[in-house]
Structure 1
């Protein structure tokens, strides 16, 4: 017997062929499965990647946000426009109110200025009459006094002898005694001197010029010593008279004197005239 026959072998026992084949088949199947799984893995992962529609969701959200921002901006613009319109309306109303107040102020100022000018004109007229009377008194002296005295001495007969148109003129001017004097007045309740004379003669169908200067040359010049009821008396020069009245007989005349006295009946000595004209 060999000495080596009893020495155990360290070599692994050989496996039999069927088991080895089986194991090889199992291992190959596992490896195939792994390979298939590995190959199928990307194919299965790809749909997941493709089905994530984040860009589409993000685009829709961006559109909604943009539309919301645009709507908000439009509301802001509308509010701003409305605020501007309200401010413009308030400014226009303020401007209109200011313009109205200014117009009222100007109207009041104009009215006051007209009143002041009228008062000044009346004062100037009174002063002019006073100066003219002083001049006439100094220049005419006794001749005017003689004429007035003659007219006064024949007053009763002259007054009673007024008939026809002259009587109507006298009745007209006497009916206005007590009315107010207003520069430029032509009636029916306020007059200036020439307006009263013109209206009196118009009542009998005689048209006279409107102003005293022209009325002092409208008829035939007559002496103050030969006056008749209905004659026109004037103060100042012929053609430049500043005042007129109507002789009513009895040494009296009626005239719209000034704003203080109005229409009055006075004796010739109250304010001696400088001349007279006869129209009737």
Structure 2
């Protein structure tokens, strides 16, 4: 064989440097290629390229971001709602406190006004009685009222012991209250005003009189002061507009709840001459 004959080479063939290209999907749909080159061998050989398609993660990421944003918004909404509720509760508490203070102020003002009106009415009543007494007891040559009282005082001393039946019960009741206190609006059992005492006395015998002096002064038959009987109702002022009442007990005397200074007293007709009288029994 010729020395020039072709002898197969025992050299190992060169290996081409493989390259693997990874085409991966990234956020936003942009594809990038990653080339991995072999560590050995020259670069003249034709590279072998493989392309791997990687799934994109945009959809899953967007869903997660959206869910997180929704949760954040819900928390914010809950916080706003709670803040509004707290503010409303605070406003309601302030309004309730203000309303309570206003109610207390009005109640105190009303109480003071009622006390002032009561004091004014009592002062007016005392002034009216004083004026009436001054007029009735003035020396005018013998007024009809003074003459009637004097006549009644002299002629009724014998009738004091003649009270019987219901009249005797009325007289006994009012005499038993002598010494009790006078209180405006009082109806017993230990304090009275004038009409309250008269009403209670007649109630013991089953007679239901009106509550106030004006009505009591017209509750029965008008009688002359010169013809009084025990149990008659005496009044001061006009019939139907009387400002004071008492019960005639005979002997020229009456029992009545006079005022806060004297209370319930038994007095002579001349002490405070009445204007008129009515007979109920």
TM-score by length of 1: 0.75
- SS of the residue corresponding to residue 18 of structure 1 reads coil
- Matched residues in 2 for 1:264 and 1:119: separation? 22
Shift of 1:175: 2.6
Q: Give the Å deviation of 1:61.
A: 4.1
Answer whether contact 1:122 1:258 (CA < 8 A) is retained. no
Which aligned pairs between 1:33-52 and structure 2 lie closer than 5 A?
41-43=48-50, 46-47=51-52, 50-51=53-54
Matched, 1:176 2:183: no
In terms of mean alpha carbon deviation, does 158-167 or 217-226 score higher?
217-226
Q: Which residue of 2 aligns with 1:146?
A: 147
Which residue in the other structure is 1:70 paired with?
A: 70
Aligned partners of 2:208, 2:108: CA distance in 1, in Å? 38
* Contact persistence 2:16–2:47 (CA under 8 A): no
- Counterpart for residue 159 of structure 1: 160
User: Which of 150-159 and 96-105 deviates more?
Assistant: 150-159
Name the counterpart of 2:271: 270
Structure 2 partner of 1:18: 6
Per-residue CA deviations over 1:241-261 (Å, capped at 9, x if unaligned) read 221110112322111223333
- 1:79 match: 79
Residue 260 of structure 1 is matched in structure 2 by: 261
SS at match of 1:248: strand
Partner of 2:215: 214
Partner Cα separation in structure 2 for residue 221 and residue 70 of structure 1: 95
Structure 1: stretches of 5+ with no match in the other structure: 1-14
Query: Counterpart of 1:265 in 2: which secondary structure?
Result: strand
Q: CA deviation at 1:99?
A: 1.0
TM-score, with normalisation over the residues of structure 2?
0.75
Q: Find the residue that maps to 1:206 and give its secondary structure.
A: coil
Q: Indicate if the aligned counterparts of 2:257 and 2:264 stay in contact, CA closer than 8 A.
A: yes
| CA separation of 1:41 and 1:174: change in aligned 2, threshold 3 A | farther
Give the conservation status (yes or no) of the 8 Å contact 2:181–2:190. Answer: yes
Within a 5 Å distance, the mapping from 1:115-154 to structure 2 comes to 115-138=115-138, 141-154=142-155
The match for 1:89 is 89
Write 1 or 2 for the structure with the bigger share of strand. 2
Q: 1:140 to 1:131 in 2, by over 3 A?
A: farther
Using CA pairs under 8 Å that are at least 6 residues apart, name the structure with larger relative contact order, 1 or 2.
Answer: 1
Indicate yes or no: 2:201 matched with 1:200: yes
Structure 1 CA distance for aligned equivalents of residues 79 and 94 of structure 2: 22
SS in structure 2 at match of 1:257: strand
Number of residue pairs aligned between Structure 1 and Structure 2: 253
Alpha-carbon distance between aligned partners in 2 of 1:233 and 1:35, rounded to the nearest angstrom: 143
Runs (5+) with no aligned partner, structure 2 = 20-44
> Where does residue 25 of structure 2 map in the other structure?
none
In structure 2, the CA distance between the partners of 1:36 and 1:172, relative to structure 1 (3 Å rule), is closer
Q: Displacement, 1:160?
A: 1.8
Q: Which region of structure 1 is more displaced relative to structure 2, 178-187 or 119-128?
A: 178-187
Q: Is the 8 A contact 1:253 1:267 kept in 2?
A: yes
**Root-mean-square deviation (Å):** 3.2
The CA deviation at 1:113 is 0.8
Query: Secondary structure of the equivalent of 1:218?
Result: coil
